[in-house]
Structure 1
Amino acid sequence: MIRYPLLEEGTAIGVTAPSSGVPKDLHELLRQSCARMEREGFRVFCGETPWIQRKAKSAPARVRAAELNAMMSDDGIGLILPPWGGELLIEMLEFMDWDGMKSKWVLGYSDTSALLLAITLRTGIATAHGTNLIDLRGEHSDPTTAMWRAVLSTKTGESVLQRSSVRYQKEWDHANPSPCVFHLTEPTEWKTLPCDPVLIKGRLLGGCIDIIRHLIGTLYGDVRLFQKQMIHNEPIIWYFENCELSSTDLRRSLVQMRLAGWFEHCAGILFGRSGANRAVEDYTEEDAYRELSEELGLPIVYDIDCGHVPPQITFVNGAHAEVEAGGGSGTIVQTFNT
């Protein structure tokens, strides 16, 4: 069964960096983010790793794991919120105390998604793929990003509705800070295959495809066992976002997932917008989506609000979802069924 943490008013937030920390010249962003959370009524406990960044990570794997283990076992902390993702989180998974984890939210995306998926697959504790701490430093959040609080405050057995954004951010403009951090300028358009509209029902799993593909064949990526023991063979809705993969590398990764059995008992697949969608010769990401849809005989929704092209919906690994998409927009209703 799936266990859902509950975000309560005044919850203590543990800030740790299981992947990359924040370099010294950007410490002000981290201070702003922590201060914003405190003004929102949270208590913030910041570890040592978020203030360090050296050789593509915040600290050695054992150090990162020790700090996260301490926060995961601390009854006084209700939410783990890394500053952002990074590159080498996978190094510390083998040092995690999986049996000592308390039920609490872990929220983030990018490299953090390896931790999120591993926690849910290994323990049945629901995890949240969505905003990171640094992106919450603004005076306010856009409506899509702001839903993280409502989603994490949903009680077991209850449901929460999220809608596609109206606009998204095409590129960063750090020289002109926005009160809500993002510069949302481009019209959002969810797209569907093989037809429009589509309705997909199942249990959510996913993350950054660049990262979670490396869990295949490890103790931290046993999807078959999770499906059998935790969700009693209910179908899975996979959601993916692509950070850096070319269209052919994306295709290789999806074929590897299919060959590894990750798409068995799958109801459909969601793909986030990506700034990395680079064609190889004339092979595009849409070609990869179309071929996967035809191979699996499943609906695909793409260019959704997920990942490195904000804003993003908060997806809960393990939750039951109903995804409706058509006419360029969509909704997702997540129900916290055990």
Structure 2
Amino acid sequence: MHYPAPLISGSTIAVTAFSSGVAAPLHPRLDLVLGDLALRGFKVLEGRCLREDKLHVSASVDRRVDELMQFLLDDQVDAVMAPWGGEIAMDLLPLLDWQALKQARPKWLMGFSDISTVLSAFSSKLGWATCHCTNLMQLSLAQTDALTADTFTHLKTPTGKAFTQYSAPLYEQGYSNYAQDSQAVFNLTEPSRWEVLNGDVQHTKPVSFQGRLIGGCLDTHMLMFGSEYFDPQALLDRHPQDKLIFYFENAEQSPTAYYRALQSLRLRGAFENAAGILIGRNAVSGNAGKAFDGDTAVKMALGDLAVPVITGVDVSHIAPNMVLINGALAEVRQGDEHWTLMQHLR
């Protein structure tokens, strides 16, 4: 893997909305988090594709591609962040100049939701380590839960070293409304619990497994699997001695669509080289009282796999979110009070 340089005080972060942009009612929140980046010691470059949102995007596909390429080819830029996800970042992928990017210095690409569409493409095609983490609009300095507050701390980790995170004790049931309250923080009220869906696959306790991380938002990744933009085999080819740890989270799919997405990955052989699978909290609420809900979807699709499947993981549209480095060698361990996730940047 090609790990970007650690983010330290003085590093430059470029901000561009290569998927959904930020409409005017949310500009106060955007200004707040941009200001907080500066207070953290970063230099901030604000792109032109940012402060509008029409038809799910900040600007035309050509303008978004041009600006993203500009930042990625600029050796003064250390990281590129979008304000949040969106719907159709996939339209950028065939238009990026991948040959030029092969010669570029790797930068951190960061975020989740539709941002993960782009993260997986860079990890698959270029071997860049990319960062699935809390989105910029949620990363205010006022957000003090450990997973969110330590996001940039973990990105200071030098190549060859490791960092450790622990499962969150609480999660947020709903979403913050930044248009009404630009300074809102997460309302973490619900007990969080990682659970082994298929515990009988392990002969010893506690559960533990190791592999290279890869994954993202299931809504887009189930569509991209098998293409050059989400190619787990490329990661295996770089590290043939390792297995993979997949992580997925459901953003918008109904329980039956959620089941079909997981089952389709399985039918196409996605998990043949998996050491384990991490499933994030389901962002879609229950199915109007019907028995076939999100939990049922995961159990039916993955419950009989011969590798550990862990559900309720802190990887989701339901905050908070762990920092997961695509391509990093991760160790997942079950403890008495919490789960541990260690990532080695090697």
User: TM-score, length-normalised on structure 2?
Assistant: 0.91
Deviations 1:79-125 (A, max 9, x none): 11110000110011111122333211011000000000110011111
Of 172, 189, 193, 2:193 maps to: 189
> What SS does the aligned partner of 2:150 have?
helix
Q: Would you say 1:297 and 2:300 are equivalent positions?
A: no
> What SS does the aligned partner of 2:215 have?
strand
- Looking at structure 1, the residues matched to 68 and 242 of structure 2 have their Cα atoms a distance apart, in angstroms, of 31
Residue in structure 2 matched with residue 87 of structure 1 by the alignment: 87
- Looking at structure 2, the residues matched to 133 and 303 of structure 1 have their Cα atoms a distance apart, in angstroms, of 23
Q: Would you say 1:204 and 2:213 are equivalent positions?
A: yes
**81-90 vs 23-32, greater mean Cα deviation:** 23-32
The answer on whether the counterparts of 1:138 and 1:178 sit within 8 Å (CA) in structure 2 is: no
The answer on whether the counterparts of 2:143 and 2:186 sit within 8 Å (CA) in structure 1 is: no
- Looking at structure 1, the residues matched to 99 and 340 of structure 2 have their Cα atoms a distance apart, in angstroms, of 36
Q: Shift of the alpha carbon at 1:180?
A: 6.7
- Looking at structure 2, the residues matched to 299 and 314 of structure 1 have their Cα atoms a distance apart, in angstroms, of 21
Which residue type is aligned with residue 253 of structure 1?
A
Which residue type is aligned with residue 250 of structure 1?
Y
How many equivalent pairs are there? 336
Deviations 1:2-50 (A, max 9, x none): 4343212211110011100001121111111111111111111010111
Gaps of 5+ in 1: none
Which residue type is aligned with residue 72 of structure 2?
M
The answer on whether the counterparts of 2:262 and 2:302 sit within 8 Å (CA) in structure 1 is: no
Change (3 A) 1:190 1:179: farther
Deviations 1:262-302 (A, max 9, x none): 21210110011123153484223323333344443111111
The answer on whether the counterparts of 2:262 and 2:298 sit within 8 Å (CA) in structure 1 is: no
The answer on whether the counterparts of 1:189 and 1:328 sit within 8 Å (CA) in structure 2 is: no
Residue in structure 1 matched with residue 202 of structure 2 by the alignment: none
Q: Would you say 1:273 and 2:277 are equivalent positions?
A: no
- Looking at structure 2, the residues matched to 297 and 262 of structure 1 have their Cα atoms a distance apart, in angstroms, of 14
Change (3 A) 1:99 1:199: same
Change (3 A) 1:30 1:166: same
Identity of aligned residues (%): 35
Q: Would you say 1:317 and 2:326 are equivalent positions?
A: yes
Residue in structure 1 matched with residue 137 of structure 2 by the alignment: 134
Deviations 1:238-284 (A, max 9, x none): 01111111221111111211222221210110011123153484223
**59-68 vs 190-199, greater mean Cα deviation:** 190-199
User: TM-score, length-normalised on structure 1?
Assistant: 0.93
Gaps of 5+ in 2: 200-204
Residue in structure 2 matched with residue 241 of structure 1 by the alignment: 249
- Report 1:38-187 matches (<5 A): 38-101=38-101, 102-174=105-177, 177=181, 181-187=185-191
Which residue type is aligned with residue 221 of structure 1?
F
- Looking at structure 2, the residues matched to 32 and 182 of structure 1 have their Cα atoms a distance apart, in angstroms, of 15
Q: Shift of the alpha carbon at 1:329?
A: 2.5
**106-115 vs 216-225, greater mean Cα deviation:** 216-225
- Looking at structure 2, the residues matched to 160 and 180 of structure 1 have their Cα atoms a distance apart, in angstroms, of 28
Which residue type is aligned with residue 188 of structure 2?
L
Q: Which runs of 4+ in 1 moved over 6 A?
A: none
Change (3 A) 1:33 1:294: closer
The answer on whether the counterparts of 2:198 and 2:305 sit within 8 Å (CA) in structure 1 is: no
- Looking at structure 2, the residues matched to 188 and 335 of structure 1 have their Cα atoms a distance apart, in angstroms, of 25
The answer on whether the counterparts of 1:168 and 1:186 sit within 8 Å (CA) in structure 2 is: yes
- Looking at structure 2, the residues matched to 166 and 158 of structure 1 have their Cα atoms a distance apart, in angstroms, of 26
Residue in structure 1 matched with residue 268 of structure 2 by the alignment: 260
- Looking at structure 2, the residues matched to 29 and 180 of structure 1 have their Cα atoms a distance apart, in angstroms, of 9
